[in-house]
A and B are shown apart, each in its own frame.
Chain A
Amino acid sequence: MRSIGLGFPPVLALGALLALSLAVTAIGIGAVSAETNAPPAAEAPAKADADGGAAPAGDKKTMRLYYLGKEYDEPLPLSYAEEVVTDKGIQGARLMLKEANQAGNFIGYAFEMDEGIVPKEGDVVAKAKEALAAGNRFIIANLEPDDLLAVADLPEAKDAVIMNIRSSATRLRQEECRANVFHVVPDFAMRADALGQYLIWKKWPKWYVLRRDTPEDKDYAAMIKRTAARYGGKVVEDQVYRLPPGARNLDSGHQQVQQQIPLETESAPDHDVVWVVNSDDDFGDYLMYRTSRPRPVVGTQGLQATAWDKSYTESGAMHFQNAIPRLANRKPVERDYTAWLAFRALSDSAMKSGETSPEAVKKYMLSDDFKLEAFKGQALSFRDWDHQMRQPVVLGGGTRVPVSTSPQEGFLHQTNLTDTLGFDKPETKCKF
Chain B
Amino acid sequence: MIRTCLAAATATALLLAAVPASAATIFVSNEKDNTVTVIDSDTLETIKTVQTARRPRGIVLSPDFKELFVAAGDGDIIDVIDTKTLEVVRTLESGPDPELMAVDSKGDVIYIANEDDSLVTVMDIKSGDVLGEVPVGVEPEGMIVSPDDRYTAATSESTSMAHIIDNKSIKLVGNILVDSRPREAKFTKNGKELWVSSEIGGTISVIDTSDWDNPNNWKPVEKIGFEVAGLRPEQLQPVGMDFNEDHSKLFVPLGPANRVAVIDTKTKEVLNYILVGQRPWHGEFSPDYKKYYVANGLTNDLTVIDVDTLKAEKSVPVGRLPWGVAIMPGKAGE
Contacts and interface: CB of A to CB of B under 8 A. Distances in A.
Contact of B200 (A2, A5, A102, A373): A373
B157 A316 contact: yes
A373 B177 contact: no
A341 interface: no
Most A C-beta atoms less than 10 A away, residue of B116, B158, B163, B173:
B158
A373 B181 contact: yes
Contacts of B156: 103
Nearest to B173: A53
B256 interface: yes
B179 interface: yes
A51 interface: yes
B256 A377 contact: yes
B234 A106 contact: no
Contacts of B159: 99, 102-103, 106
Interface in A361-386: 371-373, 377-379
Nearest to B172: A53
B174 interface: yes
Given A52-B135, A107-B175, A377-B256, A102 B118 contact: yes
A316 B135 contact: no
Nearest to B73: A318
Contact of B160 (A6, A51, A373): A373
B155 to A, nearest CB: 12
Interface in B191-224: 200-202
Interface string A287-318: 00000000000000000000000000000100
B151 to A, nearest CB: 12
Contact of B138 (A102, A371, A372): A102
Contacts of B177: 107, 351-352
B149 interface: no
Given A6-B118, A319-B139, A351-B177, A51 B200 contact: no
A107 B174 CA distance: 9
B301 interface: no
Contacts of A52: 134-135, 171-172
Interface in B81-132: 95-96, 115-119
Interface in A316-335: 316, 319, 322-323
B282 to A, nearest CB: 15
A4 interface: yes
B137 interface: yes
Given A52-B172, A53-B171, A53-B174, A372 B180 contact: yes
B40 interface: no
B117 A322 contact: no
A29 interface: no
Contacts of B134: 52
Given A99-B138, A106-B137, A107-B175, A371 B180 contact: yes
A417 interface: yes
Nearest to B164: A53
B232 interface: yes
A144 interface: no
Nearest to B137: A103
Contact of B161 (A2, A107, A377, A417): A107
Contacts of B179: 371
B200 to A, nearest CB: 4
Contacts of A378: 200, 234
A147 interface: no
A2 B120 CA distance: 12
Contacts of B172: 51-53, 106
Interface string B208-246: 000000000000000000000000101001000000000
B306 interface: no
B158 A319 contact: yes
A319 B171 contact: no
B139 A6 contact: no
B33 interface: no
Contacts of B201: 371, 373, 379
Contacts of A99: 138, 158-159
Interface in A61-117: 99, 102-103, 106-107
A107 B156 CA distance: 13
Contacts of A379: 180, 200-202, 234
A373 B135 contact: no
A176 interface: no
A48 B161 CA distance: 20
B171 A51 contact: yes
B163 A371 contact: no
A285 interface: no
A26 B309 CA distance: 66
A323 B256 CA distance: 26
B201 to A, nearest CB: 6
B64 interface: no
B117 A2 contact: yes
B161 A316 contact: no
A316 B116 contact: no
B256 A5 contact: no
Interface string B48-73: 00000000000000000000000000
A219 interface: no
B264 interface: no
Given A51-B171, A52-B172, A319-B138, A4 B118 contact: yes
A323 B177 CA distance: 23
A49 interface: yes
A319 B200 contact: no
Contacts of B163: 53, 106
B234 A103 contact: no
Interface in B235-284: 237, 256
Nearest to B174: A53
Nearest to B169: A51
A373 B158 CA distance: 7
Most B C-beta atoms less than 10 A away, residue of A49, A371, A417:
A371
Contact of A49 (B135, B173, B202, B232): B135
Contacts of B158: 99, 103, 316, 319, 373
Contacts of A371: 179-180, 200-202
A122 B106 CA distance: 65
Given A2-B96, A378-B200, 6 more contacts: A2-B119, A52-B134, A316-B181, A371-B200, A379-B202, A417-B234
Interface of A: 2, 4-6, 49, 51-53, 99, 102-103, 106-107, 316, 319, 322-323, 348, 351-352, 371-373, 377-379, 417
16 contacts: A2-B95, A2-B133, A4-B119, A103-B137, A103-B160, A106-B159, A106-B172, A106-B175, A319-B116, A319-B138, A322-B116, A371-B179, A373-B157, A373-B181, A377-B256, A417-B232
Closest 5 CB pairs of A and B: A53-B172, A106-B175, A373-B180, A103-B159, A378-B234
